[in-house]
Amino acid sequence: CKSRFEKLRASNDVAKKYQEAIRLYNKRDFSKALVLFEDLSQKYRGREQAEGLNFYYANTLYKLQDYTTARYQFKSFADTYPASKDAEEARYMAAYCYYLESPTFSLDQENTYKAIDALQLFINLYPTSDRAVSAAKYIATLRGKLEDKAFENAKMYLTTGPSNVENYRAAVIALKNAQRDYPDIRYAEEMDFLMIKSQYMYAKNSIPIRQEDRYNEATDLYNEFTANYPKSKFTNDAKQLKSDIESGIAFNKQEMATFAADQAKYMEMLKKTGKIKDTISAKPIKADNTNIKNK
């Protein structure tokens, strides 16, 4: 035997169905209401009541957390009834559904970009609306997400540095790019600091002949940092890095001197044994193609 709901569902009494659907909606029985709204939205096409019905329909989907379909229904409502009193809310909800579908920063951010576009469009259409204020707030949240992503992905290269020395260089580049992409990124200070650290690690793990130049680049980054942030919470750590860089340079100079001395001795020995003629000036070290010391 069919339930009352099933009987109603199968019947053709649209007026009664409409009433029942709204009753169910108000009773928060959204999944049942949805069944009726879906059915009715076909039958009411082109009729006067369709406007109210479609708005209910979109809201039901929203309540059921089917944000993808809800977004579509809100948007098509706003497009079909631009003069409706609910049009503003529908536009807002359509954008808000995108916002809700924006995933955590470590996943693909396609919906985040779409949400920002939709919210911005809403602000442009209804600049004086109360909702424009919250839309702006959501945009800020979403932009924050994109900043998080840029920051974390750049920092990853520093974290994974021990697996491959080139990751340190990659970290410096990625951090710079993130700052270029998001000029007002809220991690700017930390990123500048991490750049010094990455460059220092890069220099430290390079082959001796390349080290000095790379240390000097780190020093440049340090000077820039102290000029930009005279009172930073990273100041102490940065100073520590600075002294590490200095001792690194000193050590490298010593290392290179010893190396050159050894080289000279070896040449001397070759000359003595007559294996090499005086005219040939030996190059001290041959630059390696990879430029990197494998650790």
Partner 1 sequence: PATPSLKVGGLDLDYFSPKEYIIGGTKITGTEYLDKEVLVTLSKLAKGDKVVLPGEATAEAIKTLWAQGLFDDVKLNIEKFVQDTVYFEIEVVERPRLSSIDLKGVRKSEKTAIQEKLNDKTGKIVNDNLYNTTSAIVKKYLLDKGYFFTKINYTTRKDPNSENSVVLEANIDKGHRVKVQHIDFTGNKDFKAAKLRKYLKNPKQFAWWRFWGSGKFSKEKYEENKIKMISKLHEKGYRDAELLKDSIYQFNRKKVNIKMDLYEGKKYYFGKITWAGNAIYTTEILNKVLSIEKGDIFSEDKLDKKINGGGENGGDINSLYTDNGYLTFNIDPVQTKIYNDTVDVEMRIYEGPQYTNNRITLKGNTITNDKVVLREIRTKPGQKFNKSDLIRTVREIGALGNFDESKTVPTPRPNPSDGTVDIEYAVEEKPSDQIELSGGFGGGRIIGTLGLTFNNFSLRNLFNLKAYKPLPKGDGQKLSLRGQTNGKYYQSYSFSFSQPWFGGEKPVSFGVSAFTSLQSSGIGDSSNPNYYKIRLNGVTVSLGRRLNWPDNYFQLSHALSFQQYILQNYPGFKFSTGTSYNFNLSQEISRDSRDSPIYPTSGSFLRFTVQATPPYSLFNKVNYATASDKTKYRFTEYHKWKFDSQWYQRVGGQFVIKAQAQFGFLGSYNSGVGQSPFERFKLGGDGMQGFDFLQGSELIAMRGYANNTVIPVGANASQAQTSGSPIYTKYVLEARYPVIKSQQATAFILAFAEGGNTWDRFNDFNPFNIRRSVGVGARIFLPIFGLLGIDYGYGFDAIPGLPDANKGQFHFSIAQQLGGF
Handedness of CA 237, 242, 248, 254 (dihedral sign): negative
Minimum Å gap between C-beta 245 and partner 1 is: 20
**Residue 267 CB contacts under 8 Å (≥ 6 apart), including other chains:** 276, 282
User: Site mask, partner 1, residues 35-64, x = CB under 8 A?
Assistant: ------------------------------
Burial (CB count within 10 angstroms: exposed 0-12, middle 13-18, buried 19+), residue 70: buried
Identify the burial level of 265 via C-beta atoms within 10 angstroms of its C-beta, where 0-12 means exposed, 13-18 middle and 19 or more buried. exposed
Based on the shown chain and the rule CB under 8 A, indicate whether residue 108 belongs to the binding site for partner 1: yes
Q: Which is nearer to partner 1, 107 or 285 (CB)?
A: 107
Binding flag, residue 68, partner 1 (CB under 8 A): no
The two tokens of residue 219 are 């020093």
Distance CA 94, CA 218 (A): 48
Q: Considering the complex, what minimum distance in angstroms separates the CB of residue 160 from partner 1?
A: 5
* From 13-21, 47-55, 145-153, 183-191, span contacting partner 1 (CB under 8 A): 145-153
Which residues, 6+ apart, have CB-to-CB distance to 172 below 8 Å?
195, 198, 199, 202
What is the C-alpha to C-alpha distance for residues 154 and 157, in angstroms, rounded to an integer? 6
- Asked if 134 interacts with partner 1 (CB under 8 A), we say no
Contact 252, 215 (CB under 8 A): yes
Q: Does 162 bind partner 1 (CB under 8 A)?
A: yes
Interface residue with partner 1, options 76, 120, 141, 164 (CB under 8 A): 164
Alpha helix positions (H), the chain: 4-10, 14-26, 30-43, 50-63, 67-80, 87-101, 110-125, 130-159, 166-181, 188-204, 208-228, 235-272
Binding status of residue 179 toward partner 1 by CB under 8 A:
no
152 binds partner 1 (CB under 8 A): yes
> Judged by CB under 8 A, does residue 294 bind partner 1?
yes
Interacting residue with partner 1 among 172, 203, 218, 221 (CB under 8 A) = 172
167 binds partner 1 (CB under 8 A): yes
The label of the residue with tokens 């602000």 reads 123
Residue 156 touches partner 1, criterion: CB under 8 A: yes
* Minimum distance, C-beta of residue 158 to partner 1, in the bound complex (Å): 10
If binding is defined by CB under 8 A, does position 149 make contact with partner 1? yes
Q: Is 284 a binder of partner 1 (CB under 8 A)?
A: no
Give the interface size with partner 1 as a residue count (CB under 8 A).
Answer: 26
- Among 170, 203, 218, 221, which residue sits at the site for partner 1 (rule: CB under 8 A)? 170
Question: Residue 153 Cβ, how far from partner 1 at the closest point, in Å?
Answer: 6
The yes or no reply on residue 236 touching partner 1 (CB under 8 A) is no
Neighbours of 3 (CB within 10 A): 8
Of 55, 67, 70, 68, the C-alpha closest to 21 is 55
Chain centroid offset of residue 48 CA: 46
Residues lying near partner 1 in the complex (CB under 8 A) are found at 103-104, 106-108, 110, 149, 152-153, 156-157, 159-164, 166-167, 169-170, 172-174, 177, 294
